[in-house]
Amino acid sequence: MRWTEKGKLKIKAADLALLSNPTFRGKAWANVSSWVHTENNYPPIPSAVFFALLSNPKETNPKMLWMQYRRLLEVSNNPEKYYHQHTITVHGKTRQISQPMYPLEAYQRWILKNILEKTPTTEYTYAYKKGTSLIDNARVHLGNQVLVKLDISHFFDSITFGMVYDVFANQMRFPTEGATLLTNLCCLNGRLPQGACTSPYLSNLCIIKADNEIAEYCKEHNLSYSRYSDDMTFSGNRIAVKDLISFVQQTLKKYGFRLNYKKIHVDGKGRQHRVTGIVCNEKISTPVDYRKQVRQEIYYLKKFGVVDHLIHMNNSEFMDDNGTPNADSYFSSLLGRIAYVLQVTPNNEEFVKYREFVNGCMDKEEKRKALLKRIELGLW
C-alpha cells in the first residue's frame, strides 16, 4: 500500500489479501473514504493494519504483511521493550536518553517523514525545523534595547501522552484508533522520550497554543518573540518585565508547562545581548570571549605545535586513555568552533585563515602518522 503525494491510495494484491481477512473485513476500511483527498494530505491511518501496510510499501507477501502487523501491535503495546537507556553529560549535568531500537525506530522515522514534517509549526519557533537556525532565532531580536530570556522547565518531560494524543486526534484529526497507535509509538511511560526522532517535532506541535497566545500578547505590547526549544526570548525598546513574566507563567501553566524561575535573564541597554549564544545588539556576531579563546589556541598551536599544546592544555577530552595527546580529536573540535564563527559571520577573513591553517595542520599530522607507521613496520 502506498500513499502518493497527490493524495491517492495505491493498493497491491498483497494488501487486498490481508484486508480481506475476516479479522479486518469492514473494520480496516472504516473511514478511509473520508481521508482520501483531504486538505492535510496525511496518509489514511484509521487502524493499525493500515499503518502496517503503509509503512511496508514494498512487501508483496500477504503472510509477511500479517507478521508485520502482529509485530506492530507488539511494539505499540509494549514500547518500553524497544528503548535503550543511557545517560549523557551536558554542561556538567546528566541527561537520560531513551534511544529507540528497531523496529520502533523505523516506525518513528516513517511517522516523522510522512506525518509530522507535513504539519506546520508556528512562525515563532526556530528549533527542529528545516531551513531555520540559531542565527534566525537571534536575528528576531536584532537592535532592540531590552532583552528578556525565559526557560521552560523540563520541556520534553512535561509533554504527556494526552498532549501527544491531542496533536494526532484533534490537530491532525486522525480517528481514535489511529491516533492512539501513533501516540503509543511516540511516547514512553506516558511522556515524550528524549532520544526519539519524533520528539523534537512533536514538542513544537504540543506547544502551539501557548506559542500563539504568547505571541499575541507580544504583538499587543510591541515586543518581538521567538522560541528555540525550551528557550523563550522577548525583546523590545520598553518591556514591563514583571507583567510579561506573569503572563508567560500563567499561559505555560494553562497548557501543562512550567516556567524555570532559576533561568530568568534581563539585559538592558548597554549590556551585551546574547540569544542562544549569538550576540545581537547592533549586528549578528559570536561573543568576543568565544573568538578570543579560539584565537589564543591558534597562537599556542603555531608556537608549540599540537602535541606540546595539548600536553600544556591537559584536557582529558583530547587525551587517549594512556595519556597520549589525541590530535585528531582536538583538530575536529577546533575546526567545529571555527566553522561556528564562520556560519555566523561568513566574511570573517581572520577565521577563514584559521580554518586554512588548521586544515594544513591536519594534513601534516596525517603525514606524520603515516611515517611513524612505516617506521614501525620496518618499511623506512
Query: In this prediction, what percent of the chain has a pLDDT beyond 70?
Result: 91
| pLDDT at position 92 | 67
Q: Which three cell numbers stand for residue 46?
A: 484509521
* Residue 368 pLDDT class (50, 70, 90 cuts): confident
Rounded Cα–Cα distance for residues 374 and 380 (Å): 6
Q: Which three cell numbers stand for residue 243?
A: 507583567
User: H/E element holding 309?
Assistant: helix 306-313
pLDDT tens across 282-318, in order? 999 999 999 999 999 999 999 999 989 999 988 888 9
Would you call 258 exposed, middle or buried from its count of C-beta atoms within 10 A (0-12, 13-18, 19+)?
middle
Instruction: State pTM to two decimals.
Output: 0.85
* Residue 379 pLDDT class (50, 70, 90 cuts): low
Residue 26 has pLDDT above 50, yes or no: yes
| pLDDT at position 37 | 42
DSSP β-bridge partners for residue 99: 84
Across 91-127, b (16+ Cβ under 10 Å) vs e yields eeeeeeebebeeebbebbebbbebbbeebebbebbbb
Of 18-27, 95-104, 195-204, give the lowest mean pLDDT range.
Answer: 18-27
Q: Which three cell numbers stand for residue 9?
A: 491510495
| pLDDT at position 24 | 67
Q: How far apart are the first and last CA of the chain?
A: 62
Taking all residues of the chain, what is their mean pLDDT, rounded to a whole number? 89
* Residue 91 pLDDT class (50, 70, 90 cuts): low
230-244 average pLDDT score: 97
Bridge-based pairing state of the strands 278-279 and 231-236: unpaired
259-271 average pLDDT score: 94
124-151 average pLDDT score: 95
| pLDDT at position 321 | 84
pLDDT tens across 51-65, in order? 888 898 888 888 888
185-199 average pLDDT score: 96
| pLDDT at position 29 | 56
Secondary structure (3-state) at 311: helix
DSSP β-bridge partners for residue 226: 233
Rounded Cα–Cα distance for residues 189 and 7 (Å): 34
Residue 149 has pLDDT above 50, yes or no: yes
Q: How many residues does the chain have?
A: 380
